[in-house]
Amino acid sequence: MTNDSTADDTFAQFFNFGAGVLSLVFLSCSVIWGLVAQDRIVLDARRRILAQAVHRSTAVASLVFLVIHIVVKLVLDHTTWVAAVIPFGLLATEDEEFGGRAVLIGLGTLASMLMIFVGVTGALRNRFASPAPVAARWRAMHMLAYPAWCAALLHGLYAGRAAKPVFMVLYGLSLLGVMAALALRAAPRPVKRRVADRIAGFLGTEGQAVREEPAEPRTRATAGAALPGREAPSPRRPSPSAPLYEPAERLAPPPQ
C-alpha cells in the first residue's frame, strides 16, 4: 500500500511540475522545425516534408501536455477556472496588483490560448489555402506561435517554484534552439548553402544536390541520347552524291 501511494505521489508530482515543461519543450521543437521546414535552400523537398511532419507531431504533443498541465493544476487547486481560461483573469477576481505571480500566471494562460488557436487554425490550413489574401491571413495567425512561446517561457521560468537544474537545462536548450533556427532563417543565401553542404556531408548525400539540379534543355541533337540503350545520333554529314559546289567545267560556257 505504501509503495502504491509513493508511486502515485511520484506520478502526480511528475505531471504537476513536468507537464508544463514538456509542453514548452515540444512547443520549442515545433517552432524550430516549422522554421526549418520553410527554407528551400537548407533542405530539399523530401526533407522539408519530413520536417513538416515533425513540426506537426511536436505541436500536437505540446497541446497534449498543455491540457494535462491545466487539468492537473485545476485538480490540485493551484489555480481557478477563471485564471485557466481568461488571460490575466486572476487580477480581476482577486483584486491583486498588476505584477508578480498573477501576471506570470496570466502569461501562461495567454500562451495556452494562443497555442490552442494556432493548433486549430493549423489543422484547418487547407481551408485557408486560397485565395492569396486568405492564405496571407493564415500565415499571420500561425505566427502567433512566437509570442505564445515567449509567454510560455516566462511563465515556466518564474510562475512557480524555483526550477530544478534539469528543467533549467531544458529551458536553455529550447531558447538556444529557437534562436539558432531564427538566425538560420534570416541568414544570407551563401551561409545557408554552406549549412546545407555540411548537412549533406553529415548525412552522406553530397551527390544528391547535383542530381536535383534542373536539367539543361534538350536540343534535337541530344534528345535521342536521353533514352536508355540508345546512343546519341552523330551530326549529319553532307551526302557524297551531293557536292557542295559545282565543278568549274560545268560552270564555264561552251566554246563558240
d(CA 83, CA 62): 20
161 Cβ contact list (under 8 Å, min separation 6)? 17
How confident is the prediction for the chain on average, in pLDDT? 76
Q: DSSP characters for 62-113?
A: HHHHHHHHHHHHHHTTSS-HHHHHSTTHHHHHHT--SSTHHHHHHHHHHHHH
pLDDT surpasses 70 at 116:
yes
What pLDDT, on the 0 to 100 scale, is given for residue 207?
A: 46
Q: Is residue 33 a contact partner of residue 55, using CB atoms and an 8 Å limit?
A: yes
Question: Would you give the DSSP letter of residue 242?
Answer: S
Give the pLDDT score at 9: 66
Query: Which range has highest mean pLDDT (10-14, 25-29, 104-108)?
Result: 25-29
Mean pLDDT of the region 165-182 = 88
Question: Is 201 or 230 the better-scoring residue by pLDDT?
Answer: 201
Residues 6+ apart with CB under 8 A from 142: 118, 121, 122
pLDDT at 234: 54
Q: What is the mean pLDDT of residues 149-177?
A: 85
Backbone angles phi, psi at 65, to 5 degrees: -70, -25
Average pLDDT for 134-141:
81
As a whole number, mean pLDDT of residues 204-217 equals: 47
Q: Is the pLDDT higher at 24 or at 158? A: 24
pLDDT of residue 15: 78
Average pLDDT in the 73-84 region?
A: 86
- Distance between CA 68 and CA 174 in Å, rounded? 20
Q: What is the pLDDT of residue 244?
A: 46
Binning pLDDT at 50, 70 and 90, where does residue 13 land? confident
Residue 44, pLDDT > 60, answer yes
pTM of the model: 0.70
% of the chain beyond a pLDDT of 90: 22
- pLDDT higher for 56 or 9? 56
Question: pLDDT digits over 185-201, tens only?
Answer: 888 888 888 887 887 77
Here the cell at position 14 is 511528475
- 87 contacts 110 by C-beta, under 8 angstroms: yes
Q: Which range is least confidently modeled, 107-111, 166-170, 172-176, 207-211?
A: 207-211
Per the CB < 8 A criterion, the answer to whether 55 and 30 are in contact is: yes
